[in-house]
Chain A
């Protein structure tokens, strides 16, 4: 046999050996929370004998979503409320409720794309307002209704928020629902829209800022001594983390659903804030925090 043929055979053999077990390709978006959650799922699958491949942090939502639809990845953690954008149906009131939004999204995605929504977390990562704890204590602020009453009654508020939040209707919708109006002098609009900046402004009291636009699971909320105001009239869509998996993969490994369930059920908004703080504020690696959480909850030994 000529030498070149021998080498080609060897190469083919090498390639084929790489094909053997169809491991589950676990992916994630770029942000630290989504990556941490996907790492938790991946580590948990590994611990329960389901082989997995780490392809986390591959891109923004459209990139990851497309990769799942084309079958390039098998599983990633999405947020329930985003289904409103995927299926061009943002107005549906279902998205404002965790259970209803989950069921609606799960059904749409299964029918249209053969994608299964596993158990959602009982957490919500949505737009929200947070106030300095001293201001909250002095004025008894715990919910958005409290906040609305306080501002309408002449409370000295100064909000830091992104241009997107101020202009795209989110703030106006909150004002309408909770019966308050912020004058232009009562808000500082930051061009960037990073919550780290708004939280930093409220924590330091820059220009008298005492209220910040935040994501409700932001790690900075606790570290900056802010109090998250509950959306008690469910005005905002609920964005609950939920692992999405391709049906074909779930058929191959049906145990995935049961493996992931206790993990997702253990996660709350407060728990996510604490875990996010370790990644975002303390600078620990997402994988380290994920592994640590699984151990502390007894989900892996």
Chain B
């Protein structure tokens, strides 16, 4: 035993065995054998009975799934080829998902709409391990930005198709979706609209403000300081502060009310998000402009360019990647923060989260939370790709 451990440590040190692979394999094996794969709940609010994979599915299916997982583990531990690692991870991912769908079918009593089959901790840990293995493999492959975006859309399309196929309809989260189907689309659109709308407004205001700060160093500290203070106000408090003046505005001008500018609803949420978005955009604009080399600017002036021309042709293009990094921060931050808009009637996926918390129905919370995570992840991948393309173009 000690000898085997010694050999393992030696192999690890010699980097013949992958470190990340070792960690993922240990976590995955623990998840498979020690944690429940699915949880059967008598109804949606009671804690359920845990079941392992082997207890739920026929031995042949369990064996097939275990073989796929063992392949993924072998690839994670020993394979140096990133393509092989990715393929093994995806194969095991599909196997685990199929098992989950099968477990949902096997455990659902016919005609009973109250019993809920929820994915267990074991499933989530396996999903995380395989997801990490796959993303690590993709990072090692270092695909070009365009490829990465393509991969993202391929994954999203596969996920939507899998969910639409009805294979997962017996699972608890999909049951919550079925009840809230009509509202889900609406809240998703509202969520995206609030996140993007406040971002757009912040770019329109923040970019000129950042340029102004760069040109007039005297006001820089004051403006950035003010934005910093705004950033520290908790979202709920900011909503509360905005409610009174917006409500008064709506009462005084009926047209404003008809346009949706009210103390409650999307308006205070959008304004609060806009205020939070300003700091990263202004700060990154200042930083980006500072990064532009003096020689480039002086050369441009030497060629007889005006201030505006220098800004448009030299400074903006060169600082764009940094500014975009700021926009990326804002977008991902907004997608998360829109969640609290549900507390003042702003809508968005947060309505499911807070409704679920109120009813202690964890599946309903997940119905709101999982799409928020997917949205934030997708936004990050898309903007990262964009930054990289521009950065390459810039050099």
A interface with B by C-beta (< 8 Å):
15, 18-19, 27, 30-32, 55, 57-60, 63, 66-67, 70-73, 194, 196-197, 200, 203-204, 220, 223, 279-285, 288
Contacts and interface: CB of A to CB of B under 8 A. Distances in A.
A196 B355 CA distance: 13
B21 interface: no
A200 B360 CA distance: 11
Contacts of B43: 223, 281-283
B251 interface: yes
B263 interface: yes
B359 A196 contact: yes
Nearest to A35: B355
Nearest to A58: B345
B261 to A, nearest CB: 11
B259 interface: yes
A285 B113 CA distance: 13
A204 B176 CA distance: 24
A70 B251 contact: yes
Contacts of B358: 30-32
Given A59-B345, A67-B264, A196-B360, A220 B258 contact: no
Nearest to A19: B258
B173 to A, nearest CB: 11
Given A281-B43, A281-B44, A30 B114 contact: no
Contacts of A196: 45, 359-360
User: A-B pairs with the 6 shortest C-beta distances?
Assistant: A58-B345, A196-B360, A70-B247, A281-B43, A196-B45, A67-B264
A30 B247 CA distance: 20
Contacts of A66: 243, 247, 263-264
B343 interface: yes
A223 B114 CA distance: 11
Contact of B45 (A30, A31, A73, A281): A281
Nearest to B360: A196
Chain A contact residues, majority secondary structure: mixed
B85 interface: no
Nearest to A192: B360
25 contacts: A30-B343, A32-B355, A57-B345, A58-B265, A59-B343, A63-B264, A63-B343, A63-B344, A67-B263, A67-B345, A70-B247, A72-B247, A194-B360, A200-B47, A204-B46, A204-B47, A220-B45, A223-B43, A280-B359, A281-B44, A283-B43, A283-B113, A283-B175, A283-B176, A285-B179
Contacts of A70: 247-248, 250-251, 263
Given A59-B345, A72-B250, A194-B360, A282 B114 contact: yes
Contacts of A57: 345, 351, 355
Interface in B241-260: 243, 247-248, 250-251, 255, 257-259
A220 B361 CA distance: 12
Interface in B353-374: 354-355, 358-361, 364
Q: Pick from A18, A59, A197, A288 the residue with the most CB of B within 10 Å.
A: A59
